Amino acid sequence: MIIVFGSINLDVVTRAARIPGPGETVKGDTYQLIPGGKGANQALAAKRAGSDTMMVGAVGSDAFADLALGNLQRDGVDLAQLRRVADPTGIANITVDDSGENAIVVAAGANSKALASQLDGLGSVQGFLLTQNEVLEQETLKAHAKAKQLGLTTIHNLAPASKLDREALGFIDWLVVNETEALIVADGAGISTGSDAVKAARALSQKTGHNVIVTLGDKGAYSFGPAGEHHGKALAVEVVDTTAAGDSFTGAFAAALDQGFAVADALSRASVAGSLACTVFGAQPSIPDKSAIDAAS
């Protein structure tokens, strides 16, 4: 089973010819309200990739909450440990340009009230705890500590990017970072590798003794650490929207490990899932299911 502790948002997505610079207004043709949040996206990705999944987080009591939870409910993600609070449901304002690149501003809202104590009701479970950086850092750290007590394997996606202290790293079995995040966390650990994210990930793994995965867009992903060194190739696809590509990767990777795939195969399946997510507009609508991953792997 995969337990995701993290954010639940409603994404306000606007298409525009280009992403505006500071102080600039750019006209967009239309906008959509799409369920999102890195936690919810990764929970949905793990579920669609074939694993039993629980989402642990917080939403408001507003109309946005039902919209944000819609896909999780329809796909059968367990919401028994969900918390409803007085704060408004979190939102993300996303601008997607004509090349498929995006710029995102996240307002946490109810996500700041997600508590690690929500995991106390799990009882005896086996599997994985999957986390990100869109809820309070101290609660995520507490969730990691709780996961180790329960015997869960921990996977942390360091997004949005931040430095990790040694205590946090001590609880993480798998650290997933993109190129920018790899350099930030390596710098925070006193590792200097210039602008080479692959070298940074390898050095970080060597220094901490943990498994580190770095995602590289169309170059796939590399993993380093006790589980060995592996490369997962990305698919050659026409990019429509990169939103949730990283979440699709991380959720699919967790699901593959949960289903008993070897690390090399899990990395390949995750890279395929991330590639497929780039071919569809929107966050959760783009997340592929197991049959699509199987067919392209």
Do residues 138 and 156 lie in contact, with contact meaning Cβ atoms separated by under 8 Å?
A: no
Other beta carbons within 10 angstroms of residue 183's beta carbon come to 24
Catalytic residue among 173, 241, 247, 258: 247
Please give the Cα distance from 221 to 213 (Å, whole number).
7
- What is the enclosing helix (H) or strand (E) of 190? none
- Smallest CA-to-CA distance from 90 within 5, 2, 156, 6 is with 6
For the chain, report the end-to-end CA distance as a whole number of angstroms: 22
Sheet with 53-56: list strands edge to edge: 53-56, 2-5, 128-131, 153-157, 174-178, 211-215, 221-224, 230-232
Do residues 90 and 7 lie in contact, with contact meaning Cβ atoms separated by under 8 Å?
A: yes
* 221-224 and 211-215 beta bridge pairing: antiparallel
Do residues 271 and 245 lie in contact, with contact meaning Cβ atoms separated by under 8 Å?
A: no
Please give the Cα distance from 135 to 269 (Å, whole number).
27
DSSP helix/strand/coil, 9: strand
Whether residue 265 lies in the annotated active site: no
- Which of the residues are catalytic? 247
